């Protein structure tokens, strides 16, 4: 790897997927890994401290909660103390009064007997050690995807997140607009990654997954006339109505609340434009939004499906399981690399070897 190499890191709730890309290198020869997500790794560390009945101090940056939040709640349920800086505590909840009600103590100075856990979506030191074991230098360029609900301490973060998608569609729905050097101010999780990796390109995991899935040969052939892309992640399911370089509709739900039958029903009504935002939100999902200039047609019935939970769509009658550049688990990483190449004016020819 040269200094021009890019580390594309797609940070999910179950896994973090890694792709090292260098312009001109065949994708088949690139370094690729699927590792446990940071929230899963840190939750295991916290669980070990819970079993040892040790006090806990959280510092570091805002990151994805999920398994970490659950592990902290279990620690507190055992009447074991948890201390945290204000920034680290916002991993658990945007409202610090809420985490204090759980029993967590806010402090900048850890008690002498507390074990420190450093939070963050990117463990650059750990990745460097892992790569060094195989004589691979850590790149100096980064593209990272995280799912950011946005900072909204007094209201529904599901509603707040989906308002971003509604605003995006109203602004034209251009796929290129979903890659940031400077994330929106409310996206505290992205901002924390930007602070850790100055100059990194940032995307939402859902947007990166869609962009990567569109590199699949079947998707590339139908992109001009229109199609549906579905990313079935471990935690969230995201679908988009795509035509050319625009997203014309967005659907987002929690994967754990879906069954094959429910998903199929939602997708059918999404594609014909009758699925409503109110129905999905009431079902504990994020929502559904469709652009005013979307015109349903038979082309949108063709569905490109990606993500680790893709088998929820196993009975879908028309479409393919996407394998962009031959690897389904790296759809998000490939989307990040494509966005980075576009932003930097670098050649990116998917499928060439």
d(CA 12, CA 69): 15
pLDDT at 2: 41
pLDDT at 149: 82
pLDDT at 28: 85
pLDDT at 353: 38
One DSSP character per residue, 257-311 reads G--HHHHHHHHHHHHHT---HHHHHHTTS-EEEE-TT----GGGG-EEEESTTGG
DSSP state of 235: S
Reported CATH class of domain 39-119 = alpha beta
One DSSP character per residue, 165-189 reads HHHHHHTT-BGGGGEESS--TT-HH
Q: Are 72 and 92 in contact (CB under 8 A)?
A: yes
Q: Are 266 and 312 in contact (CB under 8 A)?
A: no
d(CA 212, CA 196): 24
Residue 65, classed as helix, strand or coil, is coil
pLDDT at 349: 60
d(CA 252, CA 238): 5
Q: Are 242 and 223 in contact (CB under 8 A)?
A: yes
Q: Are 227 and 221 in contact (CB under 8 A)?
A: no
pLDDT at 1: 37
Q: Mean pLDDT for each 10-residue chunk of the chain (353 residues)?
A: 78 94 84 96 98 97 94 97 97 94 95 95 95 94 91 77 91 94 91 95 94 92 94 92 96 95 95 95 94 94 92 86 86 94 79 44
pLDDT at 261: 94
d(CA 58, CA 107): 10
């Amino acid at each position: 790897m040269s200094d021009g190499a890019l580390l594309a890191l797609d940070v999910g709730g179950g896994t973090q997927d890694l792709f090292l890309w260098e312009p001109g290198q065949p994708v088949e020869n690139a370094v690729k890994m699927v590792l446990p997500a940071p929230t899963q790794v840190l939750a295991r560390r916290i669980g070990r401290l819970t079993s040892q009945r040790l006090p806990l101090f959280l510092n570091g940056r805002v990151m994805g909660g999920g398994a970490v939040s659950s592990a902290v709640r279990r620690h507190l349920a055992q009447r074991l103390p948890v201390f945290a800086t204000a920034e680290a505590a916002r991993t658990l909840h945007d409202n610090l009064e809420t985490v204090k009600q759980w029993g967590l103590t806010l402090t900048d100075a850890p008690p002498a007997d507390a074990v420190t856990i450093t939070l963050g979506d990117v463990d650059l030191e750990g990745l460097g050690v892992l790569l060094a074991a195989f004589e691979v230098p850590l790149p100096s360029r980064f593209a990272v995807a995280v799912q950011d609900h946005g900072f909204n301490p007094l209201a529904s973060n599901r509603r707040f997140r989906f308002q971003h998608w509604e605003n995006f569609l109203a602004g034209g729905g251009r796929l290129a607009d979903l890659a940031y050097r400077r994330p929106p101010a409310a996206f505290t999780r992205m901002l924390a990654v930007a602070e850790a990796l100055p100059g990194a390109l940032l995307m939402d995991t859902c947007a990166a997954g869609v962009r990567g899935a569109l590199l699949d040969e079947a998707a590339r052939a139908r992109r001009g006339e229109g199609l549906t892309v579905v990313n079935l992640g471990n935690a969230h399911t995201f679908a988009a109505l795509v035509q050319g370089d625009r997203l014309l509709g967005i659907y987002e739900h929690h994967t754990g609340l879906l069954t094959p039958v429910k998903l199929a029903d939602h997708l059918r009504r999404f594609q014909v434009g009758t699925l409503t935002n109110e129905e999905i939100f009431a079902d504990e999902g994020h929502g559904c939004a469709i652009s005013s200039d979307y015109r349903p047609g038979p082309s949108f019935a063709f569905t490109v499906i990606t993500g680790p939970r893709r088998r929820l769509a196993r009975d879908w009658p028309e479409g393919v399981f996407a394998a962009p550049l031959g690897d389904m688990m790296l759809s998000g990483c490939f989307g990040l690399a494509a966005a980075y190449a576009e932003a930097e004016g670098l050649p990116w020819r998917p499928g060439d070897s």
